[in-house]
Structure 1
Amino acid sequence: MFRFPKIDLSKFDLPPHGSAGTDRLSERMVRFQRTQEAAFAKWAQTYGRPGDPSGPAAGGDTILDMEAPGAPGGAWTAPRPGQGRAAQPEFDPSALMRGLREGRPASRGRSPVPVPPGARFEERAFTGTAGSRRYKVYVPSGYAGRALPLVVMLHGCTQDPDDFAAGTQMNALAEEQTFLVAYPAQAQSAHMQRCWNWYAAGDQAREGGEPELIAGIARAVIAEFSADPTRVYAAGLSAGGAAAAILAATYPDLFAAVGIHSGLACGAARDLPSALAAMKGQAGPTRTNPRAVPTIVFHGDGDRTVHPANGDQVLAQAGAAPGLTETVTRDTSPGGIAYTRTVRSDASGRPVQEHWLLHGAGHAWSGGSPAGSYTEPRGPDASRAMLRFFLSHTLEPRAGA
Structure 2
Amino acid sequence: MRISETLAKLAANRLPIQPATRAPNRLTPLTGFGSNPGALAAWRHVPATLAPGAPLVVVLHGCTQTAAGYDTGTGWSTLADRAGFAVLFPEQSRSNNMNLCFNWFESLDVVRSGGEAESIAQIVAAMIAEHGLDRDRVYVTGLSAGGAMTTVMLATYPEMFAGGAIIGGLPYGGAPGVSAALGRMAGREDRGTAALIDSVARVAGTPAGRIPTVSIWHGGADPTVAVANADHLAAQWRGVHGAGAVPAAVEHGKGWEHQRWTRDGRVVVETWRIAAMGHGVPIDPAGPDRLGAVGPYMLDAGIDSTAAIARSWGIVPATVTKAEPAKTATRPTPRTPPPRPPVAAGVQKVIEDAMRAAGLMK
Return the TM-score normalized by structure 2. 0.73
1:263-274 to 2 correspondence within 5 Å? 263-274=169-180
- Per the alignment, residue 331 of structure 1 pairs with 253
Cα 1:346/1:375, change in 2 over 3 Å: same
Counterpart of 2:260 in structure 1: which amino acid? V
CA distance in 2, matches of 1:325, 1:265: 19
CA distance in 2, matches of 1:325, 1:220: 38
- Per the alignment, residue 133 of structure 1 pairs with 40
Return the TM-score normalized by structure 1. 0.66
Larger CA Rg, structure 1 vs 2: 1
Indicate conservation of the 8 Å contact 2:141/2:167, yes or no: yes
Counterpart of 1:331 in structure 2: which amino acid? G
Indicate conservation of the 8 Å contact 2:74/2:293, yes or no: no
CA distance in 2, matches of 1:346, 1:212: 30
- Per the alignment, residue 287 of structure 1 pairs with 196
Relative contact order higher in (CA < 8 Å, ≥ 6 apart): 2
Indicate conservation of the 8 Å contact 2:38/2:117, yes or no: no
- Per the alignment, residue 364 of structure 1 pairs with 280
Indicate conservation of the 8 Å contact 1:166/1:371, yes or no: no
Indicate conservation of the 8 Å contact 1:165/1:372, yes or no: no
Residue 248 of structure 2: SS of its match in structure 1?
Answer: strand
- Residue 180 of structure 1 and its aligned partner are, at CA, apart by 0.5
- Residue 134 of structure 1 and its aligned partner are, at CA, apart by 1.2
Residue 196 of structure 2: SS of its match in structure 1?
Answer: coil
- Per the alignment, residue 149 of structure 1 pairs with 55
1:375-390 to 2 correspondence within 5 Å? 375-390=298-313
Cα 1:63/1:135, change in 2 over 3 Å: farther
CA distance in 2, matches of 1:372, 1:268: 32
1:129-151 CA distances to partner (integer Å, 9 max, x unpaired)?
A: 5243211101012214x011001
1:306-356 CA distances to partner (integer Å, 9 max, x unpaired)?
A: 001111111222222346861111111xxxxx01100112333x3111100
1:369-395 CA distances to partner (integer Å, 9 max, x unpaired)?
A: 335531111231111111112237xxx
Indicate conservation of the 8 Å contact 1:258/1:293, yes or no: yes
- Per the alignment, residue 354 of structure 2 pairs with none
- Per the alignment, residue 233 of structure 2 pairs with 314
1:182-221 to 2 correspondence within 5 Å? 182-221=88-127
Cα 1:307/1:180, change in 2 over 3 Å: same
- Residue 63 of structure 1 and its aligned partner are, at CA, apart by 9.5
Indicate conservation of the 8 Å contact 1:366/1:375, yes or no: yes
Indicate conservation of the 8 Å contact 1:159/1:373, yes or no: no
Instruction: State the identity as a percent.
Output: 33
Q: CA RMSD in A?
A: 2.5
- Per the alignment, residue 49 of structure 1 pairs with none
Indicate conservation of the 8 Å contact 1:267/1:284, yes or no: no
Counterpart of 1:378 in structure 2: which amino acid? A
Residue 195 of structure 1: SS of its match in structure 2?
Answer: coil
1:211-250 to 2 correspondence within 5 Å? 211-250=117-156
Indicate conservation of the 8 Å contact 1:148/1:180, yes or no: yes
- Per the alignment, residue 165 of structure 1 pairs with 71
CA distance in 2, matches of 1:134, 1:123: 8
Indicate conservation of the 8 Å contact 2:215/2:271, yes or no: yes
CA distance in 1, matches of 2:257, 2:136: 30
Q: Does residue 1:262 correspond to 2:184, yes or no?
A: no
- Per the alignment, residue 343 of structure 1 pairs with 260
Question: Greater shift after overlay, 309-318 or 279-288?
Answer: 279-288
CA distance in 2, matches of 1:355, 1:181: 23
Q: Which runs of 5+ in 1 are unaligned?
A: 1-57, 66-84, 92-105, 116-120, 333-337, 393-401
Residue 162 of structure 1: SS of its match in structure 2?
Answer: helix
CA distance in 2, matches of 1:62, 1:143: 46
Cα 1:129/1:370, change in 2 over 3 Å: closer
1:296-307 to 2 correspondence within 5 Å? 296-307=215-226
CA distance in 2, matches of 1:246, 1:111: 28
1:277-313 CA distances to partner (integer Å, 9 max, x unpaired)?
A: 1111113424313344210000011001000111111
Residue 260 of structure 1: SS of its match in structure 2?
Answer: strand
CA distance in 1, matches of 2:196, 2:311: 28
Cα 1:325/1:227, change in 2 over 3 Å: same
CA distance in 2, matches of 1:182, 1:63: 32
Indicate conservation of the 8 Å contact 2:243/2:261, yes or no: no
Q: Which runs of 5+ in 2 are unaligned?
A: 1-6, 285-291, 316-362
- Per the alignment, residue 268 of structure 2 pairs with 352
- Per the alignment, residue 157 of structure 2 pairs with 251
1:133-172 CA distances to partner (integer Å, 9 max, x unpaired)?
A: 211101012214x011001000000101011101111111
Cα 1:260/1:62, change in 2 over 3 Å: farther
